[in-house]
Structure formats: C-alpha cells, structure tokens
Structure 1
Amino acid sequence: MTTPIMSDAELRAAVERELPGVRADLERLVRIPGIAFDGFDHSHVERSAEAVAELLRGCDLDVKIVRRGGQPAVIGRRAAPPGAPTVLMYAHHDVQPVGDLSLWESDPFEPVERDGRLYGRGAADDKAGIMAHIAALRAFGDRLPVGVVLFIEGEEEFGSDSLEQLLAEHREELACDVIVIADSTNWDIGMPALTTSLRGLVNCFVEVRTLDHAVHSGMFGGAVPDALTALARLLATLHDTAGNVAVAGLTGGEGATVDYPEGRFRAEAGLVEGVRLIGTGRITDRIWTKPSLSVLGIDAPATAEAPNALVPAAKAKLSVRLAPGDDPQRAYVAVQKHLTEHAPWGAQVTVTIEHDGDPCVIDATGPVFDAARDAFRTAWDGTAPVDIGIGGSIPFIATFQEMFPRASILVTGVEDPQSRAHGPNESLHLGEFARVCEAEALLLARVAAAAVHLAG
C-alpha cells in the first residue's frame, strides 16, 4: 500500500463531511423520472445514465455508458493499488412507475423531507444505493485502499433483460474479489442486515376464452359462461382455503432465524382491520422460504364502460415468487399445468411467460463477511447486523455467482420497513442512510486490511 488505510474515526468524519453534497446529488437524481418500462419516455433514462456517469467521473473513475439492446448502464473503474483487492459495487438508476398520482402526498419526482425521511420515487430504490457508493468513494478521496468497479444498471425494475449480455461482454473489466449489491433492505431502523437469501420469480399471463365474440347477457346468460367468471374461478384454484399456494410441484422450506411479530408485520404491510394473514407457518418462512402467487392485474372492461354483454375473453397477470432452491423453468411448467388442468367449464386457457429469474442463497461466511459485520456494527454504534431473507427477487445475483464464483457477494441496502419501495410515497430514512454510507466506507477499509493481513 502506498498510503496507510484511514482509521475508523477519519472515515466517519469524512462521510459526515460529504453527506450534505451526497444528499444534494441524490435529490438531483430523484428529479429524473428514469422509467425503463415500455410506454414511458426513455430519454429520461438516458439523462439518468449521464448524471450517474458525471458523478462517477467526479470520483476519478474511468467511466463509460454501455448498453446491449436495452437501457443504458454505467461502468466506472479505478484500478487497485498493488496487492489490493477489487470491489464491484452495484446499484441501479432506473425506477418504478409512480402509479396513481393521487396517492402521493407530494410530487414523486420532487424530493421533499418530512419527519427525517426524504420522499420521492427512487429516493430509496435505488438511487440512494448509488449515492452510498459515491459517499464511500468521496470519503476516501485519493486514499482509496482498494480497486473499485461501479456497475450501475438502467433497467433493473423492468427485468434486467440485457444485464446478462452486458456482464458477459464486460466480464474482464468487471472482474473482482468482492461484490456489494446495494439493492436490499435493513431489518429495522437502527437494526442493520445482510441479505443471505432471495426468492426467484416467474411472471406470466393467463388468458381465458369462452366465446368468439361478446353476446347479450340476458339472451345467453345462465347457459353460456362469461370469461370473467371463468377466470375468477380459475384464479381461485391457485390457493387452498388457508391461503397456501396450491400449485403442485413448487418447492418450499423453512429455516428463517429471526422473529417477525405479527403486529409489526401487519402494520408494515398496511393490512386493514379484520383482514387475516394467508398461508401457514412462521411469517418469515411464508415470505422468504416458501412460494407465493399473486394476481397483479386483469384485462377486462372497466366497470364504467361495461355493456350488458358476456365477456368473451379475460386475461390476468400472475407473479409467482419461488423459494430458494426452486427452478424458474420447472416452476413455470408447474403453473402452466395447473392452470390448463383446472380450466372451468371447458374454457380455453392460454398461459404465456413474461420473464423469470433465479432464486439464490448466499453462504455468508468467511473473512469478507466478518469484515462486513464488523463495519456494520461500528456504523450502527455496536448493533450487530442480522442475516435475513428477502421475499423479493434480484435474479441477476445468480448470474454474478456464476460469472464470478470466487467473489464474495454482499447484499446490502438502504431501505427499511417504512420505505414503501415500488409504492406511493416511497421514502428514505436519512439517519439510516448516513449509517449505510459509513458502513460502506468502513467495509472497504476492512476488506483492504484483511487483504494485507492475508498477504502477510
């Protein structure tokens, strides 16, 4: 090493010094409505990529914007000092659509602070992840003790369709010893976490057809099944009476080690009074290590425009979350088989896949994970992180595991149970964000120190 590794006190002071500028840059990113979904203005995704590239250049990284048929990603790189490891730092700059604007308390693309939280689409998921990386780099300045590669994706919320090709094409420049994926959550405010398992995903469409054209509901109703009723009956077969997924062939398990009290879970989910939880077993098993199946939307006439006619066809979008260890292709076949075999009244059923993604399990042992836990404990003033699962999916982690099998993968995040990622009034807890930034800087220092120790 050409310079000594900065002490904890120096790093924490440096992060605190940089936080006002980091927040200002985060707010600038939040103002860019970079939505990669079809039907949105993708020039904003381009603007977002350019803004990220400018931030990385400001950290003395060699930067380029790359794409492979999809939305732009940004790669920034600074070579490692002699003998030091390289850390790949991932986040994404695209965001979810905002949905019903009437449900937002403020403009989703104009960041606003209320009660210690910064509100805005992408404030937590995942532009704060980008800025946590930036904060760590700014804290070190020209004393960065490791090599870094920042990979900031531009279509994560839309399925990461081109990510695997990008990783393959840029594999050599992305080569690393440690991967930090800042796109998850902490267990609670004041309680950091490392994510060690994530569910996989199968999104698909099921269409039910009973007629070749709409017919009068009075003339034919009572003998002819309408497609909406048939679809409703079909969807009802996907769960048993307790609410467990009833599709044969989907795997599930147990093993979560943290307790999730029902009262806290109900409050964080926003369940209205009287609604019961579905499924059986511990809550953490239901949302982390067992499959779930949800109906995300239905194509059918709007009630205000519906004529008195039997609907000939109806379509639903299904989201199937897969337990760690399951296989998306096999799971899709199981869902398709269930739907076609349970077609009511002989209705024609067509199932098509939208996209899928692998679940993953991370072996969170070894010196890098020891370094991470120590960094988190220091940043949270003595509170050790817990290992958690996530019910959501980050399918590309399996791709990282395959492409960089020797790299330790740390899945961290800036969110907390009140962040409401993907929903109205998404927000970032600013106090927790400061700790995340500290933890990442401390982690880089500890990874560098561990490498020196092993080399010695």
Structure 2
Amino acid sequence: MVIPPHETLVAELADLIAIPSVSADPVHADDIRRAADWVAERIRAAGGEAEIQERGGRPLVVGRVVASTGAGSPTVLAYAHLDVQPPDPLDLWESDPWALVERNGSLVARGVADDKAHLYMILEATRLLAAAGELPVNVRFAIDAEEEVGGRSVIDWVDDDAHPGDVALVLDGGYATETLPSFCTALRGMCYFHVTVRTGERDLHSGVYGGAALTATHALMQMLAAVLPGPDGRLPDPLRAGIVPPTEEELAGWSVLPPGAEELASDGARPNDAGAAQEFRLRTTAEPSVTVNGIESGSPRLQKTVLPAEAVANVSMRLAPGQTTAAMAPVFERLLREAAPEGATVDVELWSTGEPGYVDPEAPAIVLAQDAFEHVLGVRPVLVRSGGSIPVVASLVARGVPAIVTGFARPTAQMHSPNEHIPVAALREGLETTVEVLRRFGELG
C-alpha cells in the first residue's frame, strides 16, 4: 500500500474545505448537504455503501466498508464531523477561509483542524487499505453534520443501533502539547439546574423589614453554599460518590503536561484556592465540580433598598467519570432543599443532562492504538481526561464500545477562530497513523 504524495492529499482535502458547511447558519443548509454527499461518495469510492439519513433537520452520513479479511473481522466505528464553525470575523483572516493554503509550515483554512482533516484521514485510510486488499476490520462510518450546534442525530443513531462496533475511533481531538499526542479516555458529564427561591409575596422595604423578614437572595446564597466546594477545593462528599480515580499511568502522563498554574494564567484565570493549581488536572477532569452560571435577584445595577422576594440561579454540575445523572441529580437537589431556610419556597428544575464517559486505560483497544501511534510517530500518546463533555462518546461507552478520542491538531490550532491551522506534516503523519491504527485493530479478534 502506497500513501499518495502530499500534493494529492492537499488537493483532495481542499475540495472538502471549499464547501462552507456551517451548521449554525441556515443559509448554508445546501452546503451541509453537499458536504454530506462528498463524504458519502468517498465511502462508496472505497468500495463501501453509504446513505444519508435525515435526523433533526440535518444529514447524518452512515456507511460501511467491509473488511478484506472476510466474516468474523472486528468492526470499527469511525466518527468525525463535517460541519464547521462560521468564519467570522472575516477581516482577521489572512487568506480566504474556504481555500486551503500552505503558509509558514501550516495548512490554513476554516475547519482544517476541526474537523475536516481528521474526517479526510479516516476516509482515505479506509480507502487505501481496502484498495490494497489489506483492510483487517469492518469500518462503519457515522459522520455528523451538527456537532458544532449540539445536535443529537448521531447520539440517537448510536442508541438505536444494534451493534455500533467493537471499538470506536473518534477523530475529533488533538495533541496535548505541540509534540505530544494524546488519547482522551474519560469525559465529564453534566446536570444543569434552574433554581428558583421565593420568600414572600412581594419585595419589601429594607428599612422597615430588614433583619426580620426572610430574604430570597440570602436564602439562595445559603442553599448554594451547601453544594459549593469547601476550603480544600472539594465538593461535599455526597456529590463525590462513585468517582473513578485516575490510574498510575494517567497520573504519570499528566506530569509531563503544562503545569496548572501555567494553564490558568494563560487564560487570565486565578486559582480557586491554594491547592487549585497543583491539582489542576485532577480537579478539572477527575473530580466533579459545581458552577453558579448566573444569578438574578433584586436590583444589582440601581440603588434600590428592598428585600427581594425572589431569587433565581442557573447552576451546573460537571459529573466525574463513574458518576451518573440518575444518581447525582437527586442528591444535588436534596442538598439544596435541606439547606433552604424555613419559610422559603424552592423550585428546582433539571434543564439538561449529559452522561460522563470512561474507557479503561488498559483496554486492549487503547493499548493497540497507543502501539500504532508510537510505531508511526515515535512517541507514545499520553492518556488524558477532558473536563468537558462529548455526548456521543458517553453514548458509545454506555453501549460497551470503547471509544478512542484523538486527533492531530495542536493546542495552537486556533480552532473556532480566524486562521485555523494544522502543521503541514500532520496531514501525512495523521493519515499514516490512522492506517496503522486500523491495521492494529485487526488484532482485536
């Protein structure tokens, strides 16, 4: 099997880049469909079959290329997304965002890092192996057209499918540092609450009733204190139940990543407490956290001397790997209600949820993929966790499908910003590595 020359790879990727598949803007609905057609044709060109399903108003490309090794071969579910962020502000781009260009050692265009280069890599890796009669796995494709707008099409497809795969390769990520590849083996989940507290029929004069009448803002503050971190930066023990602590390999990998103090300072953030910087990775990926996202009550802008009768807050809880929304949402609500002062009326609404995902770092698929990366790139990927959420990964893990979330973008890729880019070398290296990963997955049996 021969990898095509660099010029060929760039030209083919440029065809996909040129389609302005912006999912957030209805003006580009036809472009989303064109990109889906492009992907489907690439799957068919690899000797496979593909269909475009309409779920949630946007296309989902579902396809399959059968293994060269025949029946009984393992099945790999390949996930990537074809939609991209809007290119605005256009005046900050140094070149046309829809034209792939090479500049200063980088390939520059909207979507090149997130996620079209990765999408092209998995399509081309499958095609090359199939054409050579060397594809050792069945490759199923679930190519998303609404990842950038939080759509559920691919999640619903995973939930409905009888057997998504033996392993999932999610190419929608990047290196931990400029030189160190990474696998994301765990993600946090989410419970998002809307809390309303009422303490009377109407706002009252603070001079006449202050010190005697219950106040909604005070009641809300008292309740929130019951679910926020203590002096050690940890949430109350009931909110930490079920967490899966990091393994020794994970901890060793985190030790080579940029220190927490540097991560915080780079975004102008200040440590939450004395231990926050030292425990940055642990706190943001392996522990649950609670954030008060917004509060509304009384008159924070105008001088108005009243006792507010109502206070409202949006509060989110990031769930650590090992926890579930079904277990933790009731505990969170219970702690809030127990902390409410007598006489307060409390309403807690659970607006949205997302499950955390966790893949055993010692799972055979993880080890095989690490071996493949090390074989091609000369460096073994570090195992990291993400503080954010990727719902499709949680759905796959819940179905018993180990998901490997990785990619070849760098931390400086400027994803979602003007002049998005990847290193020129990353296109070929990523393709060669993806080919090797598919080869190694043939050993899953």
Q: Same fold (TM over 0.5)?
A: yes
Is 1:276 matched up with 2:276?
no
Alpha-carbon contact 1:119-1:425 (below 8 Å) kept: no
Pick the aligned partner of 1:243 from 203, 228, 233: 233
Match of 1:52 in 2: 36
Alpha-carbon contact 1:118-1:429 (below 8 Å) kept: yes
The alignment of Structure 1 onto Structure 2 pairs a total of residues equal to 426
Task: Report deviation, 1:379.
Answer: 3.4
Deviations 1:406-443 (A, max 9, x none): x553222344434566x766944334742333311222
TM-score with structure 1 length normalisation?
A: 0.75
Alpha-carbon contact 2:188-2:389 (below 8 Å) kept: yes
Is 1:442 matched up with 2:436?
yes
What is the letter of the counterpart of residue 148 of structure 1? V
Task: Report deviation, 1:328.
Answer: 1.5
Task: Report deviation, 1:192.
Answer: 1.1
Pick the aligned partner of 1:34 from 19, 23, 27: 23
Match of 2:173 in 1: 184
Distance in 2, matches of 1:19 and 1:117, equals 14
Alpha-carbon contact 1:189-1:416 (below 8 Å) kept: yes
Closer, same or farther: CA 418–329 of 1 in aligned 2, 3 Å:
farther
Pick the aligned partner of 1:339 from 330, 333, 336: 336
Pick the aligned partner of 1:383 from 379, 396, 402: 379
Task: Report deviation, 1:95.
Answer: 5.6
Alpha-carbon contact 1:183-1:413 (below 8 Å) kept: yes
Closer, same or farther: CA 363–106 of 1 in aligned 2, 3 Å:
same
Q: Within 5 A, what are the aligned runs for 1:54-453?
A: 54-59=38-43, 60=45, 61-69=48-56, 71-83=58-70, 84-94=73-83, 105-106=92-93, 110=97, 123-137=112-126, 139-140=128-129, 142-143=131-132, 145-146=134-135, 147-156=138-147, 161-171=152-162, 174=164, 176-210=165-199, 212=201, 227=216, 230-232=219-221, 234-237=223-226, 238-246=228-236, 248-251=238-241, 252=243, 253-255=245-247, 256-257=250-251, 258-260=253-255, 264-271=259-266, 275-278=270-273, 282-298=279-295, 308=304, 312-343=309-340, 346-365=343-362, 368-380=365-377, 382-403=378-399, 405=400, 409-419=403-413, 427-431=420-424, 433-434=426-427, 435-448=429-442, 450=443
What is the letter of the counterpart of residue 157 of structure 2? L
Distance in 2, matches of 1:131 and 1:216, equals 65
Closer, same or farther: CA 77–204 of 1 in aligned 2, 3 Å:
same
TM-score with structure 2 length normalisation?
A: 0.77
CA RMSD of aligned residues (A): 4.2
Distance in 2, matches of 1:153 and 1:180, equals 14
Q: What 5-or-longer segments of structure 2 have no aligned partner?
A: none
Alpha-carbon contact 1:15-1:438 (below 8 Å) kept: no
**Tell me, what secondary structure is at the counterpart of 2:22?**
coil
Alpha-carbon contact 2:357-2:398 (below 8 Å) kept: no
Distance in 1, matches of 2:32 and 2:404, equals 25
Distance in 1, matches of 2:60 and 2:16, equals 18
Q: What 5-or-longer segments of structure 1 have no aligned partner?
A: 1-5, 36-40
Task: Report deviation, 1:333.
Answer: 1.1
Q: State the identity as a percent.
A: 29
**Tell me, what secondary structure is at the counterpart of 1:319?**
strand
Closer, same or farther: CA 34–241 of 1 in aligned 2, 3 Å:
same
Alpha-carbon contact 2:220-2:311 (below 8 Å) kept: yes
Task: Report deviation, 1:191.
Answer: 0.9
Distance in 1, matches of 2:440 and 2:139, equals 14
Closer, same or farther: CA 433–209 of 1 in aligned 2, 3 Å:
farther
